[in-house]
Structure 1
Amino acid sequence: MIGFIGGSGIYEALPLTDVREREIETPFGEPSAPVTIGTYEGTETEVAFIPRHGRHHQYSPTDLPYRANIYAFKTLGVERVIASNAVGSLRKEIEPRTLVVPDQLFDRTRHREYSFFGEGMVVHQGFAEPFCPELSKELQNAAVTETDASVKGGGTYVTIEGPQFSTRAESEFYREQGFDIIGMTAIPEAKLAREAELCYATVAGVTDWDVWKTDSQVSLEEVLENASHNEAAIQDVVGAAIESLSETRSCECGSALEGTINTDPEHIPESTLESVEPLVEDYL
């Protein structure tokens, strides 16, 4: 099963058959919406879909139930998660309506839950490469072959807290650091997917110039208009990637927790173990 998290502008599932919904309770609350599950049209691949912000866009970037979303995917048997994001551009050559498949993240968020672990259980996990290279390659290839959009492979996605957009000084600072695109939701989603040993990659649709351009002032109207334009292209990319993915994974995401648990199992509280059992049962 493949998980798909729809970002701003994508509130409906891909073309699926045998569709059903699952309401899932997790130790970390409820997901953004009931999970839509079905078979991707023309294939035998099952897809589980969650609209990140809820079906009516009622969750802000800070308040999203990130942990519940990823945990729900894990308990359903998802191994790969494809995400979509609406982002701003920090580069002159990355124009609005470009599709970007980033390979790096920089975290500027402050008020989020970044881990499934804690409460008597310490896990130190590597995160040098935040996106699955195998899954990212499939998304980039699909973007090039299946759409007429400009496509950028690689680049750094800086994640800000939001829900406000950047100040001009902040936007200029991010450009000076060499960042390429700016958004509000890739963190902690990517970190949690790694802890759950899920492959994770995103196709980001550029909606605006942020505010670094002197003739640009990012607005919700502009973001929504370009997000709507990007929607069809992103769905084409996701669909093509789903069709081309191999049945088995050859990356290291599926063993990401190996050797990372620093607390003696005998000293981990029972309540903590119960909440993270689907994540750590192979290691304890």
Structure 2
Amino acid sequence: MAEAPVAEVGVFGGSGFYRFLDDVTEVTVETPHGPTSAPVAIGRVGERRVAFIPRHGAHHELPPHLLPYRANVWALHALGVTNVFGPCASGSLQPHVAPGSFVVPDQLVDRTSGRADTFFDGPTVHHVAFADPYDHDLRQVALAACRAEGVEVHDGGTVVVVQGPRFSTRAESRWYGGQGWEVINMTQHPEAVLCREAGLRYAAIALITDFDAGLEGSGVPAVTQEEVFAFFEANVDTVRRVLFRALAAPLPTGRLEAGPGF
């Protein structure tokens, strides 16, 4: 691990974001878990150094169930990052959470399977506390950035993480919404828990791109990949503005307690 931080804050997100950082350099970080989704882009927002990794690769070539989550998180830790923002496109499970709004979730339900979702496969065993999946203080920064940009934002909410790459059936979607959960996504797990194991503070910023197919009484058609991508592209400037404001704000200091070896 670097003796001095190469970057103080990290971002997992879409491939368009890093082009707007100043003086970007790309670095390849070797990890015990293989290569990252793409080389890490290092740039500045004001005086703050930011490390950016496009989750799905530079050309969106990696599906959500095959992302190298452990490598991505390990690389940010190795670069000295303390705080991590995870902007993500997500669907709504509730009528009051409309497309175009943002959710800064405070809870997570994992419905994935077969993903490498821990750094502790043995012989070292570590049981991470995960009752509150998202860092409270970093969430406040994300919420303040959304409000300052004048976007509709929901403070808190549960994101259910599905395996993908397929979207949910109407029956699955109705069940998720019936539990009272607000957001559906494919990448928040294990990204959030791996950050916690590594002692990194993590907050998600979910842009709602669509109503999920099972929303009762909505009459929504089945969501398609093309519609989600188009909606996100149409709103990417808003996402960038929110992120840049959050990245320039005062951030929590000090990492969380990490598992053995970090």
TM class by shorter chain equals: over 0.9
> How far 1:89 moved relative to its partner?
0.3
Structure whose alpha-carbon radius of gyration is higher: 1
Which residue does the alignment assign to 2:12?
5
For the 8 Å contact 2:91–2:211, the answer to whether it is kept is yes
With over 3 angstroms needed to count, the CA separation of the structure-2 counterparts of 1:61 and 1:247, relative to structure 1, is closer
Partners of 1:38 and 1:71 lie apart in 2 by 19
Match 1:177 to one of 176, 179, 187: 179
Cα deviation, residue 256, structure 1:
4.3
Tell me, yes or no, if structure 1 residue 50 matches structure 2 residue 57: no
Find the aligned partners of 1:117 and 1:11 in 2 and give their Cα distance.
33
Match of 1:99? 102
> Does the CA contact (< 8 Å) of 2:83 and 2:251 recur in 1?
no
Instruction: Name the counterpart of 1:144.
Output: 147
1:156 is matched with which residue: 158, 161, 181? 158
Task: Name the amino acid aligned to 1:68.
Answer: A
Partners of 1:14 and 1:235 within 8 A in 2 = no
In the alignment, structure 1 residue 32 sits paired with structure 2 residue 1: no
Q: Following TM superposition, by how much is the alpha carbon of 1:110 offset from its aligned partner in structure 2, in angstroms?
A: 0.5
Tell me by how many angstroms 1:242 deviates.
1.3
Distance change >3 Å, CA 34–CA 141, structure 1 → 2: same
Q: Is the 8 A contact 1:157 1:182 kept in 2?
A: yes
1:235 has 2:240 as partner: yes
Task: For residue 229 of structure 1, report the CA deviation from its aligned partner.
Answer: 2.2
TM-score by length of 1: 0.85
What's the CA shift for 1:246?
Answer: 3.6
Aligned to 1:88: 91
Paired with 1:186 and 1:84, the residues of 2 have a C-alpha distance of 10
SS in 1 for 2:25: strand
Paired position in structure 1 for 2:70 = 67
CA distance in 1, matches of 2:122, 2:212: 38
Render the CA deviation track for 1:75-116: whole Å, top value 9, x for unaligned: 000011111111000010111111111110000000201101
CA distance in 1, matches of 2:149, 2:167: 31
Residues in 2 aligned to 1:229 and 1:180: alpha-carbon distance in whole angstroms: 22
Distance 1:192 1:110 in 2: 15
**CA distance in structure 2 between the partners assigned to 1:39 and 1:183 by the alignment:** 29
Residue 60 of structure 2: SS of its match in structure 1?
coil
Residues 2 and 69 from structure 1, CA distance in 2 versus in 1: closer, same or farther, beyond 3 angstroms?
same
1:218 matched residue in structure 2? 223
% identical aligned pairs: 43
In 1, Cα distance between equivalents of 2:253 and 2:83: 10
Task: Find 1:131's aligned residue among 134, 138, 152.
Answer: 134
Whether the 8 Å contact between 1:79 and 1:199 is mirrored in structure 2 is yes
Unaligned runs of 5+ in 1: 262-276, 280-284
Paired positions, count: 252
Task: Give the alignment's Cα RMSD to 1 decimal.
Answer: 1.4
- 1:135-161 deviations in Å (ceiling 9; x for gaps): 1111011101114x3211100000000
